Amino acid sequence: MACSGLLSNSFIANKCFRPRRHHKLAVPYPRSFSSSRVHLAQNLGISMSMEENGATKQGLDVSRKKLPHVLTVAGSDSGAGAGIQADLKACAARGVYCSTVITAVTAQNTVGVQGVNIVPDEFVAQQLKSVLSDMEVDVVKTGMLPSIEIVKVLQQSLKEFPVRAVVVDPVMISTSGDVLADPSILARFREELLMMADIVTPNLKEASTLLGGMRLETVDDMRRAAKILHSMGPRSVLVKGGDLPESFDAVDVFFDGEEYHELHSPRVKTRNTHGTGCTLASCIAAELAKGSSMLSAVKLAKRYVETALEYSKDIILGNGAQGPFDHFLRLKHNTSTGGTFSGNELFLYAVTDSGMNEKWERPMEVAVKEAIKGGATIIQLREKDAETRKFIETAKACLKICRPYKVPLLINDRIDVALASDADGVHVGQSDMPARVARSLLGPDKVIGVSCKTVEQAHQAWLDGADYIGCGGVYPTSTKANNSTVGLDGLKTICLASKLPVVAIGGINASNAITVLGIGPPNLKGVAVVSTVFDRSSVVGETRKLHSMLTEAVLKAN
């Protein structure tokens, strides 16, 4: 049965949920005392017997590593910038499991909140019981608590199922100015919820509301607010200054009852700050779940928010004043290959050489642009002696040239430079980082090529998840000292055995390129050249000449 109408009809909601009880492995709610005893034992570092914590009956292995686990009790944001969705992303990005108890469903986007549908408090209670009774929660983080009843239910659940820490983000008004919690819950917040909090994280407006309208305009005001809020019961207070007027940096004030810490970070110039508060609180909860102290958790969370904002500052999503940001620091990826590499890109593979550029007094960017204009279909930046910082700058500058032409740019050897510049991939030799390790660092989208001289190496490159192999030297070459050659026969043998596309390399020039490409196997996709195009007065001219020769030969062969 479909579970739609969850909010409007709690009867259906219950029905959707109940069948699990009839499932063979379904476990009824454990009695509260056993759950809190397990927690207590874990906190004290005592391992309980399998029989005692009920694991034997379920056939579970208690020696398994326990996942740090945050439960967020918050509202859903349909635009996924804040609320439950931000909490899930923040915890996942910080390597912590996150379960969710949904208190309200909001219709929301970058413009504002268009609607709020509050989940019935009995159903919030049911969600809380389901998770807390079974799933070994370390830290509870609260966000939007839209009614007094829901606050009450939460308090009762936390009494029944104690956790190691409670992070309270007193969400009341969204950054867009929409009211997310009824002002009547303020009293309940002040009287009870703050008492249970290990940390409370109000923004300026929320701190002011909790303090009966106190004006908060300076860092000193924030300090005063933190002190008064602390006297209401939470172990620590973080007053967030994201909205502090006329501040060049983003200042938050932390107070643990003894010491104040002003936490400063550069203020990122961006519209994409929707969900910063939820993210910060979730990240604090995540770090606490991993075992951090409160101050370290807060510092790390702040640094994480700043990093994500900086990364996402130019992202454009939605037409409103407040866009979401990218918790995984990955959305900006724009590869020339679009994540798919066919091998046809290898047709005319130009490998740069800074010595030759110096000789011809040609900056690297100019050499790359000329090669592309002449018809190069892929570029490899080979900088054996460049300083790292210079290499990254050069790679970034060359990427700007390659991207509009959709010509992939690979980095020779240096996975760090490829990562730092967001290049399209790397080419590694047999003594460089193994392709399998490079793959795990670069992820599935980037292109990885491996130099191979034998059938075994070609097979290993395939096993390691490479995209192509470079085979050679075909002929002796001056650009690589003491390089043994495989000759045309070796090239052919390796092509026939290789499951990956092949580019031939080593001593290839205008007079032998057609012979090389003509040896037959269909997975021989192209030739790689260095001096033939770059050790010349006109890079465009030489590349164009080679490109048209090769194209003609291929057309004739077909």
Ligand X SMILES: Nc1ncnc2c1ncn2[C@@H]1O[C@H](COP(=O)(O)OP(=O)(O)O)[C@@H](O)[C@H]1O
Ligand Y SMILES: Cc1ncc(COP(=O)(O)O)c(N)n1
Q: How far is the CB of 140 from ligand X (least distance, A)?
A: 18
Contacts with ligand X by CB under 6 A: the residue count is: 19
CA distance 268 to 310: 6
**Does the N-terminal peptide bond of residue 473 adopt cis geometry, omega within 30 degrees of 0?**
yes
Q: Is 205 a catalytic residue?
A: no
Please give the residue whose beta carbon sits closest to ligand Y in the complex. Answer: 83
Residue 77: contacted member of ligand Y, ligand X, Mg ion, none (CB under 5 to 8 Å, by partner type): ligand Y
Amino acid present at 544: R
CA distance 274 to 264: 20
CA distance 116 to 75: 9
Stretches 118-126, 139-147, 172-180, 304-312: which one binds Mg ion (CB under 5 A)?
Answer: 172-180
Measured from the Cβ of residue 59, the count of other Cβ atoms closer than 10 Å reads 7
Q: Is 275 a catalytic residue?
A: yes
Q: Is 273 a catalytic residue?
A: yes
Residue 241: contacted member of ligand X, Mg ion, ligand Y, none (CB under 5 to 8 Å, by partner type): ligand X
Quick check: 283 binds ligand X (CB under 6 A)? no
Q: How far is the CB of 265 from ligand X (least distance, A)?
A: 5
Residue 268: contacted member of ligand Y, Mg ion, ligand X, none (CB under 5 to 8 Å, by partner type): ligand X
Site string for ligand Y, 161-200 (x = CB under 6 A): ----------x--xx----x--------------------
Residues 177-216 contacting ligand X, CB under 6 A: 203
Quick check: 322 binds Mg ion (CB under 5 A)? no
Residue 225: contacted member of Mg ion, ligand Y, ligand X, none (CB under 5 to 8 Å, by partner type): none
Quick check: 483 binds Mg ion (CB under 5 A)? no
CA distance 486 to 457: 13
Quick check: 141 binds ligand Y (CB under 6 A)? no
E-assigned strand segments in 186-290: 199-200, 236-240, 249-255, 260-266
Catalytic residue among 89, 129, 152, 240: 240
Residue 288, judged by CB atoms within 10 A of its CB (0-12, 13-18, 19+), counts as buried
Amino acid present at 133: S
3-state secondary structure of 179: strand
Residues 465-494 contacting ligand Y, CB under 6 A: none
- Token duo for residue 175: 């950054």
Residues 299-358 contacting ligand X, CB under 6 A: 302, 305-306, 309
Q: Is 307 a catalytic residue?
A: no
**What φ, ψ does residue 216 adopt, rounded to 5°?**
-125, 100
Catalytic residue among 79, 277, 374, 375: 277
Catalytic residue among 209, 273, 335, 352: 273
The residue among 313, 285, 290 whose CA lies nearest residue 301 is 285
How close are the terminal C-alpha atoms of the chain, in Å? 57
Q: How far is the CB of 272 from Mg ion (least distance, A)?
A: 10
List Cβ neighbours of 248 (8 Å cut-off, separation of 6 or more): 267
- Token duo for residue 5: 């109408």
Q: How far is the CB of 275 from ligand Y (least distance, A)?
A: 5
List Cβ neighbours of 345 (8 Å cut-off, separation of 6 or more): 337, 377, 378, 407, 408, 525
Residues facing residue 312 across a β-bridge: none
Residue numbers at the binding site for ligand Y (CB under 6 A): 74-75, 77, 82-83, 106, 108, 143-144, 171, 174-175, 180, 274-278
Catalytic residues: 240, 273, 275-278
Residue numbers at the binding site for Mg ion (CB under 5 A): 175, 242, 273, 276-277
Residue numbers at the binding site for ligand X (CB under 6 A): 175, 203, 240-243, 250, 252, 265, 267-268, 273, 276-277, 280, 302, 305-306, 309
